[in-house]
Structure 1
Amino acid sequence: MEKLQAAIEKARRQRDGKSPVRRSQERPAKPPASMSEAWAELKPFELSSSLAQKNRLVSLNGGSSAGPFDMLRTRILQQAINNGWKRIALVSPHSACGKTTTAANLIFSFGRQSDLRTMVLDLDLRRQGLAKVLGLQCDGNMGDVLQGKKSFADHGRRFGDNVAVGLNSGEVVNASEILQSSQTKAVLDELQDDYEPDVMLLDMPPLIGADDNFGFLQNVDCAILLAEAERSTIEQVDVAERQLSELTTVMGVVLNKSRFGDSAYGYGYGTA
């Protein structure tokens, strides 16, 4: 009996010692090479310093000028990691709040976070937006991708090794219907599965003037509200924040184009 018990104990130890290997064989991790290949398919782009200066893309080369956007990037990452959020919408109460300029600057800030993969998609389908700020020409738009007419592999662009960008060549017909469709949700899920970004930043249309956001924001984890100093009224910001809170979690509010500079905040906050 003692010999039998000893044999049982020995077998149990051997089984327990091998079990992690068996679990690994049963559920193999996705090889890193396959991800590298997916990202490598995206056509890379670069930005000239002259265009960056013209379009206020102060985050391109890092340094103190990039401070506000690096700080925003870090705050986004802290909350995203703590809450398990990946899809983050950038929304403004009205147009000209600096939302797209902020999204463009975050491309370069997140690009310096080399251990993370970030996807920035221009889903303000009623205008060229991000492509214009970046000075890029593109064949087609994110509306084609969301409708399954074009693959993101053929349409998307890549900055460096770790930021993928989706752009628009111009206004898309039926933007609201596209954003609110079940097809759009399916495509976003596919992008997340295929490219496995750590963060997806979605540049959305303004809340005022269209219903594009109201059927779409159920597809995101949270939203950041960007307002314009001295132009966005307290009432507009309050109404926009309440509307957002009914649709998704509000991560925070960012004030753009503030006249307060380095002497007030250490970095040039509000430079977007």
Structure 2
Amino acid sequence: MERIKLAIERARAQAGTAQPQPSPAWEPRTIDLPPLPRRTVDAVPINLLPLDPFHLEQHRIVGLDQNNPLRQSFDLLRTQVLQKMQEHGWRTVAITSPSMASGKTVVSINLAMSIAHHPSKTALLVDFDLRRPSVATYLGLPAGNSLNEVLTGEAPLDSAILHVGIPGFQVLATQRRVMGAADVLASDRVSHLINGLRDESPDRIVVIDLPPVTAVDDVIAVLPRVDCVLVVIGSGSSTTREIEEAKRHLSRFNVLGVAVNMAPLSQAHIGYY
């Protein structure tokens, strides 16, 4: 018993003098978790309105066909237009011609599609040829809210802008002829509309299809609200007198240059390849 008592007392004495051992240090552990879903507030999914390739081909719209060699011509035009616009900080460009049958609407649509293919740009095509609107016909767009309803206040702007064919390509079409077109184009409503379309997105280029400059005064009424203008001359359709008259009308505006349309294929295909 005496031995047991001494052993207990010795164990107690040792326990009283022993230093507590530190607990192992805590180290963070890396846990692989599945990524959180990204917010899509600013990237709302867009339902693209499909376009009929055969219908586009019938109306000489080549902007969606990557295999069409004529698309290269519009890509070259796009690069020249964008470079010139970027030099001056311009984001709205009007398309007009000296006379009818120059193919300005075909150029407007194909140029806008080419801009939409650019990796850092989007394009909004607006049909401001209010006397003879044809963008909707050339693209085969269905009936619905359009620039007509926006101008009269019957529909909001968002409901009339269509996302068509490819991402980055939008169209604000005019479905019916507008009476008093020159007065409408000179109105504050159109001025506010163009400014809003331009300022809504810094990457957007607004392409505006206008009537021929020598036919009516609509072009002169709206051009003060547009950054610059591109003139389309139809090979064999615009006379020297019409071209000179167009030059006189446009002399006080920012003219990007002249695009010759409907050139013979033997000349149009001369290039790098």
Question: Per-residue deviation at 1:61?
Answer: 1.6
TM-score for the superposition, normalised by structure 2: 0.78
Q: Which amino acid aligns with 2:206?
A: M
Question: Per-residue deviation at 1:197?
Answer: 4.4
Q: What secondary structure does 2:233 align onto? A: strand
From the superposition, tell whether residues 132 and 261 of structure 1 become closer, same or farther in structure 2 (CA, over 3 Å).
same
Which of the two has higher C-alpha Rg? 2
Write out aligned runs for 1:1-272 (5 A). Answer: 36-37=43-44, 44-63=48-67, 64-159=69-164, 160-246=166-252, 248-261=253-266, 265-266=270-271
From the superposition, tell whether residues 264 and 105 of structure 1 become closer, same or farther in structure 2 (CA, over 3 Å).
closer
Does the Cα contact within 8 Å between 1:147 and 1:178 map onto a contact in 2? no
Q: Which runs of 5+ in 2 are unaligned?
A: 1-38
From the superposition, tell whether residues 35 and 143 of structure 1 become closer, same or farther in structure 2 (CA, over 3 Å).
farther
TM-score for the superposition, normalised by structure 1: 0.78
Q: What secondary structure does 1:171 align onto? A: coil
From the superposition, tell whether residues 221 and 187 of structure 1 become closer, same or farther in structure 2 (CA, over 3 Å).
same
Where has structure 1 moved over 6 Å in runs of 4 or more?
A: none
Please identify, of 222-231 and 51-60, the stretch whose mean Cα deviation from structure 2 is larger. 51-60
Q: Report how many aligned residue pairs link the two structures.
A: 233
% identical equivalent positions: 27
**Structure 1, residues 169-196: CA drift from partner, whole Å, max 9, x if none?**
1211221111000111112222233344
Question: Per-residue deviation at 1:147?
Answer: 4.5
Question: Per-residue deviation at 1:144?
Answer: 3.0
Please identify, of 248-257 and 137-146, the stretch whose mean Cα deviation from structure 2 is larger. 137-146
CA RMSD of aligned residues (A): 2.3
Bigger proportion of residues as helix: 1
